[in-house]
Amino acid sequence: MLTRLEHWREWMERCAVDRCGAQTAAALRRFGAMRFRRGVAIGLGSRFSEGALPDDRACFHLFESHCCASHARSGKRYKEWIAARGAGEPDAARFESGASLLIRTAVRAFLKQEGPAPRQVSADAVIEGTDGLTLVDLLPDEREETRADAETAEAVARACLERLTNGQRIVVLARRAGLSLGDPAVLLACGVRKSRAFRLWAEVYEALADETRQRLGDCGREFLLHTALEAAERLGAHLFFAERVEKRWPTCFKGVEGFYDA
């Protein structure tokens, strides 16, 4: 037996293990943790890592929460049900038996929310039939992929930069400066109306997307999007530094922090 009758009586009287004495709390938590972890082991075996298991305090807390928040079909609270099992000729075994049944239900709820899906496999699991090879070993080197992204993004940005009209350059710079494309100074510098200014901005990013697809081909939507966004950031940076030196459109950007600061 992991507990004594007086432990359960004290728990019933004080309503929560946190209000019980140190010896009672330690005994009940030890009992709850042992039953809880046994339920996890039965449910998942080795597929649930030790570090993901709740500690002794949390195990008993999950059990107590289930007792308080749930109820049987008859409407009776589960804590009252445990007390009823201990009536008559009470002993700790009757309390432990009833609590164990409820801990099983608490374990199932915990595993449903926190446990891995039945078909989920850890990337660190050894692949059967190999000499210690894991799924992580089969993944591409992220450092090489990141470098390839950067090189392609720079090439895309420079290719598009050479083909930009003045109006397209202005709207990209305006966005970078936080200005509205409907700002009168922006429209005056572009020599267009508001609707055309928005179209110029869209054309730049359509060109970036097309250039990225041409260079990378069918590499997956996420990979293409990541590279195109990186290219857009680089394009904006090139235009920003060029404008700081050349000062071609001071009526738009003079006074904007960072543009013409010394």
Phi, psi at 134, each rounded to 5° = -115, 170
Q: Which of 150, 120, 126 is nearest to 138 (CA)?
A: 126
Degrees (nearest 5) of the Cα angle 160, 164, 165? 170
pLDDT digits (tens, 9 = 90+) for 72-124: 554 456 667 776 765 555 677 888 888 888 888 888 888 877 766 555 566 66
pLDDT digits (tens, 9 = 90+) for 157-206: 999 999 999 999 999 999 988 899 999 999 999 999 999 999 999 999 99
Looking at residue 32, its pLDDT comes to 87
Q: What is the mean pLDDT of the chain?
A: 81
Q: What is the pTM of this model?
A: 0.46
Phi, psi at 147, each rounded to 5° = -65, -40
Are 17 and 29 in contact, with CB atoms under 8 Å apart? yes
At 93, list the tokens. Answer: 């075994």
Higher pLDDT, 76 or 2: 2
Contacts of 111 (CB under 8 A, 6+ apart): 40, 43, 44, 48
With b meaning 16 or more CB within 10 Å and e meaning fewer, what string describes 192-224? beeeebeebbeebbebbbebbeebbeeeeeebb
Alpha helices in the chain (DSSP H): 5-14, 22-44, 56-69, 78-85, 92-114, 135-138, 142-163, 166-177, 184-190, 194-216, 221-246, 250-253
Going from N- to C-terminal start, the domains of the chain cover 5-114, 142-253
